[in-house]
Structure formats: C-alpha cells, structure tokens
Structure 1
Amino acid sequence: MDRCCCPLALLPLLLLCLCLCSPRAGSAASITTGTPDGSERWGYVEVRPKAHLFWWYYKSPQRTSTPTKPWPTVLWLQGGPGASGVGLGNFLEVGPLDVDLKPRNSTWLQKADLIFVDNPVGVGYSYVEDDSLLVTTDWQQAADATALLRALVQELPTLRSSPLFLVAESYGGKYAATLGASVARAVRAGELKITLGGVALGDSWISPEDFTLSYTPLLLSVSRLDDNAGGEASKKAQKIKDQIAAGQFEASQGSWIDLLDLIDTKSGNVDMYNFLLDSGMDPVSADTLTAGSSPTPSSVQAVKYSAYLVGSQGSGSNTIDDIMNGVIKEKLRIVPKDLKWVEVSTAVYNALVNDFMKPRIDEVDELLSYGVNVTVYNGQLDVICSTDGAEAWVQKLKWDGLKSFLSLPRQSLYCGQSQGTKAFVRSYKNLHFYWILGAGHFVPADQPCIALSMIGSITNSPAS
C-alpha cells in the first residue's frame, strides 16, 4: 500500500503525525489513517453506496509479538440507538483517555486491543449522503457492520489471529446479537476469515417486553413508586406486552415512552439508568438535540441515554461535545468539515421505530447453538434494562444447557484491594452471567475496577 507522510501537528498529546493510506482495490470510497507506530488506526468504510461507517482502532501496549495465548480484540457497540461509541464508549467509559484527554487507569486497553465504531451509519462521525440510507432494522445494521469487519480484516492484520469479542451496551446488545449471528454465519460459510471469540451483552435491550414488565415491581421494591402509581404503571406495561404480541411495534414504543413519562412523574423523577439518582441530577437540555430537530418525546428519550454519562464527567474543563467537534476532529483529519458530532442521533433513533421493541432472544439462542461464548452482565441499580428483566429473558432461552445453568450457585467476585463482594458470576458451558453490584446502566463508568477484571475474564486475556 502506498503511503504518504503528513506534517507534524501542533498539539503534542493528540495531534500526532498521520500517515494517509491510499484506498484498497475494491473499496475506492474507504480511507484509513493512523499514527506512524501503528498504535492507532482509524478510517471510513463505505458499507453501502453513500453510507459510511467510522471506526477507530487502538493497539494495546500490553500486546506482545509472541503472546502466551492469542491476544484478544474488543469491538465496542454503543446503544441509544443513535449514541456514539467513538465518543461516549471511548472517552467516557473504556478507552485509553478520558474526556479531559488524560490517561484512564481502568481502560480496557490493558486487557485487549479496542475498536470503537460509530454504528449504525448516521451516528457520531459516521454518515449517510441521503437520510433514506439510514438503517431501519437491527439486521440491516448487522449487514453493514459485517461489511465493516470484512474491510477491517484487510486493514488490521492483527484481526486475522486475534479472537474478536463483540461487547455491547444498552440497545447495542441488539446490534451485538444480530451482528454476532451474521458474523457466525459468514464464518461458517467460509465468507469471513475471523475468529468470533464471544459476545458480551451489557445491560442490553434484548427483550423490551421483559424489561418493561420489570419496572413496576423493581421501583415498588426500592420505594420509588407507591401502590397507587404501581397499579397504573402495571396496566400500561400490560398494554405494551399486548401490543408487542400483536406485532404493533411502533405503537408499543409510543406506549413505552408514555410509561416512562408516568414513572418520571410518580417516582420523583427517578433516573431510569440508576434508581439511586434523580433524572434532574443529569439535566437534559434541548441544546443537545440534533441540530434542526424538535424535542419530541422520542428524541428527548434518546438524549436521556447520554445524559447520565455526560453528567458524570466530573469537574474537568472539557465536555464531550467540545473535544469531539474540536481537538479530536482535528486529530482525525478525515471527518467531513460540515459534519457536527452529537452524542445521540435522533434521526437514527427514529429510523428504528419499527424495530425498537422487537426482541433478539432468538439470535442469542443461535449464538449459543453455534458454541459461541455469550456473556450477559448487568448493573444492580439499572432500571431501563434491569437485572430482573435480563434474568427473565435468559430463562426464555431454548438452549439445551439452560436448566443446568440455572441450577448452579453463583460465585462471588472481588476487585483489587477493596473490601467486600463486587459482583457475582454464574457460568455453564458457553453462557455466563455477571451481576455487578453498585452499578447502574453504564457498568464500566460506575464500577470500573470490576468491569476491567470482568473483561479480562471474558476475553481470556493473557494480561489477566
């Protein structure tokens, strides 16, 4: 591949010397750039005509040329739908730098190489040249992400020998389930040369029905609803269940938003991502909506996804919006100048309206049947994707090992020098479930120590 060197940038921490790589044959609209030492690579892949996915790869400093066992790669899939993994997952959760561009002590780069992707098209730095090209189903997303992986196997030689783990959060779990099944099929058909090491579903929206039915009993049990409000909420949840059963998915999403509004009013504004907090602790501003959009109920709900993380940034001088539209965009150089990065794309959120409430339990079953390692992990304090709801959908699996899995006791987990149990885990064959104590919806942000230990175990990292 021909290479050309770029001038040294002026910002010493981030704006490193770039090497622009000419497109490969057969992918004329794709471009890859990176640092001279190969520790970072990033680029665009045109997964469909006029539909461009942005990805960013970090090579772990712990990776050696002769590891004792295969060094893993984690592909992080953000939720929303419409939230930016390159921004939120990277700088607010597990990437090498935090939002103030300082090293993160708990970065998952200690255990694996990392790939962040703004997925699906239209999210973050990814873009479409026509809004009609936005995906409307999880499986369309899977097809695009599989096309991305086909390109990355060529762009990142380490992927040819590195087991790939799809690690997801929130709605990203639906992406991971469908993408995992798509990748597994392609591998089995000999169409994709990659090793699928496993799929990890963190607080993932796999079964909207089961999560919706869990809200009332959970909030009653922690005193955020009373019996009167609980009765009204239960009726709304039952209506949503009936609409899902009837295939009325768009209507069920509208009813789900109505239920969240009721809970917000009757619970003293409980934060649906952590029942120990109030949503007012992380104010949602109309300014964070996509430019030109109006604050409809669905768009406000989409933005609430990122409010918890953005509100937990601390007292540093930077905001995620500032760095993504400033120093990071300048470093990357290939992001279109007229593209404005936003935390959550409401256009992408709304495009998935007919798929939003569809379950993906069957895809998890398919992965288990192939022998793919599947991990479910859940924060104790989460409401929107509660642990009770996750346990409920797991019990619906048709996997032949389920009965044995459910019969096993849990094992206590600890972390570092801290006192007390930090999590529990249960494993049987290729299904694993982690109960993360003291964490809400965003486990790596809330409990970084145990999250780092967990990802080391999930990936069987040589560094663990």
Structure 2
Amino acid sequence: MAHFSSSHLLFSLLLCVHLFFFNPANAIKISDGSEQWGYVQVRPKAHMFWWLYQSPQRIDNGSTPWPTVLWLQGGPGASGVGFGNFEEVGPLDTDLKPRSTTWLQKADLLFVDNPVGTGYSFVEDESALVRTDEDAAADLTTLLKALYNSNARLQSSPLFLVAESYGGKYAVTLGLSIVKAVKAGGLKLKFGGVALGDSWISPEDFVFSWAPLLRDVSRLEIKGAEEANSLAEKIKKQIANGQYLEATNTWSELENVISENSNHVDFYNFMLDSGEDPVSTSTVSLAMGTSMSKYATYLSSKASSNGDINQLMNGVIKQKLKIIPKDVSWAAQSNLVFSALSNDFMKPRIAEVDELLSQGVNVTIYNGQVDLICATKGTEAWVQKLKWPGLQNFTNLERTPIHCEGIKGTRGFVKSYQNLHFYWIIGAGHFVPLDNPCVALKMLGDLTQSPAAPAAVTSFS
C-alpha cells in the first residue's frame, strides 16, 4: 500500500521552505510541492490557519479528476490541524510516523483550524469570534475564495467536505454557502458533496436516544432512564421555544445524570467505561468556560504512548510551520469558541441537509455503531424527519453489507438512493477513521470516486 515514505516526511520537517503568496493569504510551500500552509485573514482581526497535503498517489485524469477533502473537526473549538491531521486521517501520527491508513490514499487533504480562535487560528480581539454556524461558514467561504479563485490546479480538483461531530453543522452551512457562492460566480471550485460523520445535526434526537440505547445495553436501569428522559423532554421544550443557551446548559446537566447513573459510561463508545478505556481520560461534562469538552479531552488522549499532541503542536510542528505568531499557543479545545457558539450549539440543522439534497448535492451520512453522543439511533431519527422526496424510497431499500479483505465478519452496511448515502460502521465509536479505518477508506473512495479507489461498494449518482 503506497503512502508517504518515512524518510520523505521526516525530512520535510527540516526542509528549507520558501514564501509565495495567495492573494490575500501568506503561505509557505514545501519545495517538492507536497505540502503548503498559511493564514487567511477572513475578517478584520480574524485569521484562519490552513494546511494542504498533496497526495503522492495523485492521478490527474481528465475523466475522473483527483479529489480534495476538506476535513471539518467538531468541538466546537477542537483543532482539525491537530486532531484530524495527526490523530485520525493525515499522513503522520503523533510520533511523526507514517499512517498506513491515511486518507491521502484517496484524496488530497485540506485541514483548517475552524472557527477562528481554534488551534493555530486566532483573533486579535474576542469580539471577532463567530457566534453562529452561518458565521463560521462565511469565514470558511472567504478562506476557500482566497485559496481557489486564483489557483487553476485546485479548481480542477472537486472539493468534498468531510465532517466529524459538531463539524457536521459547519459542513451543511458551508455546503449551502459554497453552492450560493459558486452560482453567483464568486467562488471558483467544483463542489463534490458533503459527508457527515457522527454529526451533531439534531441535538434533540440524540439526547432522546441516550436513555433507550443505554437501557438496551444494560448501562441504565428504569430510574436513571426516567431521570434522563425527563431532562431530554426539557431540552425539547427549550429548543422549541428557541431557548438554545438554556438547552445547552440542560444538555450538560443531562450528561452528568447519564454519567452518574451508568457508572461513567464512555460517551464515545458505550461498551466501555471512561476509566476502563486507556485512551479515554475523562468523561466530565463541559462546564461552560471552565473546562475542556469531553470531545477534545478524549481525542487528545489518543496520542500514542510516546507522542503527546500538545507538546507536538507547540514544539516541532510550530517550528516547522514558521508562521505561527509567538503569542499563539495551540490548545486541544478552545473554550472561548465553545462559549461564543453556545447559543447555536443545540440548534438543529436538518433543514440545511434537506436543502443540500434538494440542490442535488451528494450527502453521505456515516455513523459508528457504538457511539453514544451522536448515536446511530439518533441519526436515524433525524434522517426520518427529512422532507426530501426520495426519503421513502431510501427507507424501503435493503442495506448492502461491507466486508474488508483479511478481516472476518461484517464490517458495515451501506444504503444509497439518488444523492443520499448512509453507512453503518460496525465496531466504530465516535471516531470512525480510528476505529474502523478499512470501511472509512472504502467509504471515502465511494464518496470521491478517486481514480485510485478500489471497486466501489455502491455507486453514486
């Protein structure tokens, strides 16, 4: 299986670089063209960091162009440049060793620290933080205009948005912004579609899934489930009344109730305890403005025994990049970003998915079997709320099993109708590329129709 060689990538860490300019973005480019990165000032006092990898397996084929994937991390406030890149799908792990399951096998990869204030992205004043998912989409659209509008090579590569967790809300709002900007002539790119991985699209449906699911697997009993369902009902009313900040606070209370009554179930893999899983160091709920979200705590703990991601990002990687301001320190999770978005956190984005489908955009939904926080039960519930005309035909279809060479048993299922595609990924929790990389790669090949991809599991229209 081809991938970046160890010598090539480790040499890149020490390789001399030269400056060139995307207008208006300062950028640095590795001399062999395999990597480039930079900042785009998306608004006054708001600076977004991006990092683009060119795949060594890239095939420029006119009939099937090589794709680019924009990875959108969740949180909100978790770093895609750190987590998505070094923990999940990028070319190197946190020990700077080549990842055999990197998504560069299927596409070029673009990582961003989004929204501004996350990771290496920064604001000069807290008033420049985004307050809504639409604000985040506007900033990302400005970034894409800076990168794409004067770059014919990028314009020839269809762009796919692949999201995880809260990143799904960014993906659907950005997807609509891209469609609008392309139609208006303000953005020059080919839009391939969106993929929503264990995505926080409908918070109401997820909180109602928790108690029944945990009862089914014996992690809650009747009393605890009733207490949890009572808080879910409270959240439903708050969302209906537009009390999104109050719903966020009740969500935090509900997570505490779930944790206490389940003996601290792992929110990212309900088959485990938070203390049982050596890579999960905490399932303590987010106390607004005072502690790290469980999402970032869990992912940062997935660094290998030798690779500490905080040390990595503030050490050798910051030195390599050269352009990170001295006063900007990479952090796993920005509580300022989370707090700024707290009024949008519990707001559903089902209507945006519907609009993407109606616009003919390919929408792929994928979910890990043992995820709790964005449980498959909840995802299936919000999908059934779509007003898309093809929903009934989609629902009536049989699923196709997915198998991986050399691995026994069923590894997943897939169902596809017109431009809606759904993957059930067996054995995976919240972080699908980590838990079931084989199916994740198969899915990515199907999504992008990469020239290097093996025979597709299902055909996309």
Q: Into which bin does the TM-score normalised by the smaller protein fall? A: over 0.9
C-alpha contact (below 8 Å) 2:94/2:304 kept by paired residues = no
Which residue does 2:80 correspond to in 1? Answer: 85
Which residue does 1:345 correspond to in 2? Answer: 334
- Is 371-380 or 409-418 further displaced after alignment? 409-418
Query: Is 1:436 aligned to residue 425 of structure 2?
Result: yes
Task: Give the letter aligned to residue 16 of structure 2.
Answer: C
Correspondence list, 1:315-334, <5 A: 315=305, 317-334=306-323
Q: Return the match for 1:119 from 100, 107, 114.
A: 114
Separation of aligned partners in 1, 2:22 and 2:247: 44
C-alpha contact (below 8 Å) 2:202/2:347 kept by paired residues = yes
Query: Is 1:241 aligned to residue 236 of structure 2?
Result: yes
Task: Give the letter aligned to residue 208 of structure 2.
Answer: L
- Is 82-91 or 14-23 further displaced after alignment? 14-23
The C-alpha deviation readout for 1:259-298, integer Å capped at 9, x for no partner, is 0001111101001111112223422499xxxxxxxx9613
- Is 373-382 or 149-158 further displaced after alignment? 149-158
Task: Give the letter aligned to residue 269 of structure 1.
Answer: H
Which residue does 2:254 correspond to in 1? Answer: 259
**Secondary structure of the residue that 2:154 maps to in structure 1?**
helix
Provide the identity percentage. Answer: 60
5+ long unaligned stretches in structure 2 = 1-9, 454-461
**Secondary structure of the residue that 1:57 maps to in structure 2?**
strand
Separation of aligned partners in 1, 2:140 and 2:65: 23
C-alpha contact (below 8 Å) 1:19/1:33 kept by paired residues = yes
5+ long unaligned stretches in structure 1 = 1-10, 287-294
Separation of aligned partners in 2, 1:443 and 1:252: 27
Q: Return the match for 1:357 from 336, 339, 346.
A: 346
**Secondary structure of the residue that 1:166 maps to in structure 2?**
strand
Note the C-alpha offset of 1:332. 0.4
Q: Return the match for 1:456 from 440, 445, 456.
A: 445
Separation of aligned partners in 2, 1:462 and 1:129: 43
Separation of aligned partners in 2, 1:302 and 1:78: 15
The C-alpha deviation readout for 1:9-41, integer Å capped at 9, x for no partner, is xx73512221111463xx2xx311110111101
C-alpha contact (below 8 Å) 1:39/1:60 kept by paired residues = yes
C-alpha contact (below 8 Å) 2:219/2:262 kept by paired residues = yes
Q: Return the match for 1:203 from 198, 208, 212.
A: 198
Correspondence list, 1:4-403, <5 A: 12-22=11-21, 24=23, 27=24, 30-66=25-61, 69-154=64-149, 156-280=151-275, 281=277, 282-284=280-282, 297-299=287-289, 302-315=292-305, 317-403=306-392
Distance 1:231 1:300, change over 3 A: farther
Large movers: runs of 4+ above 6 Å: none
Separation of aligned partners in 1, 2:167 and 2:207: 18
The C-alpha deviation readout for 1:401-446, integer Å capped at 9, x for no partner, is 1110001000000112211110100000000000000000000011
Q: How many residue pairs end up in the alignment?
A: 441
The C-alpha deviation readout for 1:333-368, integer Å capped at 9, x for no partner, is 000011110011000011001100000011111110
Compute the RMSD of aligned alpha carbons.
1.6
C-alpha contact (below 8 Å) 1:200/1:376 kept by paired residues = yes
Separation of aligned partners in 1, 2:59 and 2:176: 30
**Secondary structure of the residue that 2:193 maps to in structure 1?**
strand
Distance 1:328 1:244, change over 3 A: same
Using structure 2 for the length normalisation, give the TM-score: 0.93
The C-alpha deviation readout for 1:129-156, integer Å capped at 9, x for no partner, is 0001000000000000000000110465
Task: Give the letter aligned to residue 389 of structure 1.
Answer: G
Using structure 1 for the length normalisation, give the TM-score: 0.92
C-alpha contact (below 8 Å) 1:325/1:340 kept by paired residues = yes
The C-alpha deviation readout for 1:163-198, integer Å capped at 9, x for no partner, is 100000000000000000100111122221111101
**Secondary structure of the residue that 2:439 maps to in structure 1?**
helix
